[in-house]
Structure 1
């Protein structure tokens, strides 16, 4: 099993329930882990693995589509990765809102979605 990781991806996006979030947006961090079993090792060609530039472009596209809930964003990213890469077995996506609009709150909030190919059938 090989694991592909994209970590610390930063985006300015417009997800959220509140009017201000939809208007001015917020900063987000996305982390993705993809597990797949290549047909052979060592992997010597990009077609034998998960192209992380394609994964990044997919994440970037989905992050630009406003959604009210982070749960929706994380599950859409995970589902699309499984759909796009037939050899991906398990996908874990965490989406973190770095400065949520909560009065007197310091920190971040986030969600994690883990999907595997068997659960998507």
Structure 2
């Protein structure tokens, strides 16, 4: 399967379990792996046979910068559902949602959640 990757998209959102996180917000990063057949796009040089990165970014931005959620798992799952719904040619989507500098005891560079969802019938 062919893949499109969007790496380290940066957003500011209000997700987290602690009230301060939902009030003050924080930075988030998103890595995406989109799995689809790019044979026709490659042979025709036609964007309509692929997925527009700018449109993907806007859809992810709306979710990450949108409604506050407590769990990163919920945010990442919303992204996969949105993308699989929006792009019929997309077979599978992996989202890595990264929270730099999480407000937890100890020294952490970041925490992340990775979720993979496939279109029904594709595994």
Normalised by the length of structure 1, the TM-score is 0.92
CA RMSD of aligned residues (A): 1.8
| Aligned equivalent of 1:29 | 29
Offset at 1:43? 4.2
Query: Which contiguous aligned blocks of 4+ residues in structure 1 show a shift greater than 3 angstroms?
Result: none
Matches within 5 A, 1:82-97: 82-97=84-99
Helix, strand or coil at the partner of 2:51: coil
Q: 2:73 aligns with which of 71, 74, 84?
A: 71
Aligned length in residues: 121
CA contact 1:98–1:109 (8 Å) conserved in 2: yes
Helix, strand or coil at the partner of 2:75: helix
Gaps of 5+ in 2: none
Moved more, 26-35 or 36-45: 36-45
Normalised by the length of structure 2, the TM-score is 0.90
Deviations 1:34-83 (A, max 9, x none): 01114624241110001111100000000112111000000100111000
Gaps of 5+ in 1: none
1:42 aligned to 2:43? yes
Offset at 1:12? 1.4
